[in-house]
């Protein structure tokens, strides 16, 4: 009887974590090709294997969210939403580099290699715990780096290709973000926007050293110089940050075509506006284009909610490393 009660509680949608999302990528105003790529995947256990279900661009279940940012609105303004399973979910943004052929190839390879690695290593029999999930994400990024590096060496036309990668994994109430390069991950919580990742870039080093300000970094001739990328070396040192999530938290992943153009205040104002996440992604991309659109622009937004998550985890508090 106790087992039945536990099973009923696990199957009760009210005892679930839900993920609602929006995503958009555009070429911008000055580039001829979009070399950004993004992914939103639910990790679904099927028998002895884990498959990546690329979530549909239309709602797959009735929206369970409540509140000003979760109200369903009109049918055309609803976001895709799914119930988080025991194996979690992935979000990712990659910004490729290396010429017309190499950049797009590298960002696409990164997401494909991460997907294959997670499908192989994150099996239903493995421990479904945040620490183990974080290790699987780090291993997937390392495999993606090897794949891109090997292909760049094998194909002369692809020599020097690489990509940034900001990879987020959500498992239960824990968010892991693995960072390589200068695409970014943020948490929007309680009206405050907190940058979780740190840019691995030349201008970030200059900011940290007090040589330039963040405002000066936006127009610096060195703003596109990144210090780490997937595929440019046989091995890469990635950084992982873990954050405990609360009800209503928004996760934002974006390429530098957005973060390098809009200020934190401008991003916050857009996220604070009513409407769907899809509409807010549109507003973020439009704002970056209105500011000149000097690069490809990608935004992925995901909101988490549900009874298992704490109501408050410290609004605006910095993430834990």
Q: Note whether residue 320 is domain-resident.
A: no
10-24, 38-52, 232-246: least confidently modelled range: 38-52
- Pairing mode, strands 192-195 and 297-305: unpaired
Number of Cβ within a 10 Å radius of residue 233: 12
Classify residue 208 as exposed, middle or buried by CB count within 10 Å of its CB (0-12, 13-18, 19+): exposed
Q: Note whether residue 2 is domain-resident.
A: no
Domain holding 65, by residue range, is 20-305
Burial 76-96 (b: 16+ CB within 10 A, else e): eebbbbbebbebbbbbbbbbb
Q: Band the pLDDT of 209: cuts 50, 70, 90.
A: confident
Residues 6+ apart with CB under 8 A from 91: 21, 38, 39, 40, 41, 167, 168, 169, 170, 251, 253, 300, 302
Of 297, 264, 301, the closest CA to residue 69 belongs to 301
pLDDT digits (tens, 9 = 90+) for 214-225: 777 776 666 677
For position 177, which CATH number holds? 3.60.40.10
Spatial separation of the C-alpha atoms in residues 94 and 298, rounded to whole Å = 9
Spatial separation of the C-alpha atoms in residues 21 and 19, rounded to whole Å = 7
Backbone φ, ψ for residue 75 (5° rounding): -55, -35
Q: Note whether residue 312 is domain-resident.
A: no
Residues 63/21/143/171 CA torsion (nearest 10 deg):
-50
Q: Band the pLDDT of 301: cuts 50, 70, 90.
A: very high
Cβ atoms 176, 197 nearer than 8 A = no
Secondary structure tally for the chain: helices H, strands E: 8, 13
Which has more confidence, 1 or 41? 41
Cβ atoms 164, 182 nearer than 8 A = yes
Q: Note whether residue 314 is domain-resident.
A: no
Q: Note whether residue 113 is domain-resident.
A: yes
How many domains are contained in the chain? 1
**pLDDT in the model for residue 146:** 97
**Position 273 pLDDT exceeds 60:** yes
Spatial separation of the C-alpha atoms in residues 119 and 9, rounded to whole Å = 28
**Position 65 pLDDT exceeds 60:** no
pLDDT digits (tens, 9 = 90+) for 124-156: 777 788 899 999 999 999 999 999 999 999 998
Q: Note whether residue 271 is domain-resident.
A: yes
Spatial separation of the C-alpha atoms in residues 110 and 105, rounded to whole Å = 9
Q: Band the pLDDT of 210: cuts 50, 70, 90.
A: confident
Q: Note whether residue 217 is domain-resident.
A: yes
Q: Note whether residue 310 is domain-resident.
A: no
**Position 183 pLDDT exceeds 90:** yes
Spatial separation of the C-alpha atoms in residues 41 and 92, rounded to whole Å = 9
Tell me how far CA of residue 98 lies from CA of 37, 146, 223, 230, in angstroms: 15, 16, 16, 12
Helix (H) or strand (E) holding 38: strand 36-46
């Amino acid at each position: 009887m106790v087992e039945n009660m536990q099973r009923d509680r696990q199957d009760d949608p009210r005892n679930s974590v839900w993920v609602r999302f929006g995503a958009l990528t555009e070429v911008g105003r000055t580039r001829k090709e979009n070399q950004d790529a993004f992914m939103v995947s639910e990790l679904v256990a099927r028998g002895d294997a884990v498959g990546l279900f690329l979530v549909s661009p239309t709602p797959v279940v009735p929206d369970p969210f409540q509140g000003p940012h979760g109200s369903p609105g009109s049918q055309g303004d609803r976001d895709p939403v799914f119930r988080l399973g025991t194996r979690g979910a992935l979000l990712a943004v990659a910004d490729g580099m290396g010429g017309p052929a190499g950049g797009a190839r590298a960002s696409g390879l990164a997401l494909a290699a991460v997907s294959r690695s997670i499908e192989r290593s994150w099996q239903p029999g493995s421990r479904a715990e945040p620490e183990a999930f974080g290790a699987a994400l780090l291993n997937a990024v390392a495999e993606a780096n090897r794949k891109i590096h090997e292909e760049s060496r094998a194909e002369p036309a692809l020599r020097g290709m690489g990509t940034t990668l900001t990879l987020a994994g959500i498992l239960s109430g824990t968010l892991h973000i693995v960072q390589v390069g200068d695409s970014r991950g943020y948490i929007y919580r309680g009206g405050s926007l907190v940058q979780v990742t740190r840019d691995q870039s030349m201008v970030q080093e200059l900011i940290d050293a007090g040589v330039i300000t963040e405002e000066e970094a936006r127009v610096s001739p060195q703003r596109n110089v990144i210090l780490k990328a997937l595929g440019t070396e046989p091995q890469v040192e990635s950084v992982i940050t873990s954050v405990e999530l609360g009800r209503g938290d928004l996760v934002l992943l974006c390429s530098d075509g957005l973060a390098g153009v809009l200020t934190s205040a401008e991003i916050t104002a857009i996220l604070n506006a009513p409407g769907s996440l899809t509409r807010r992604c549109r507003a973020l991309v439009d704002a970056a284009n209105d500011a000149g659109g000097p690069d490809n622009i990608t935004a992925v937004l995901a909101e988490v909610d549900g009874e298992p998550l704490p109501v408050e985890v410290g609004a605006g508090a910095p993430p834990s490393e």
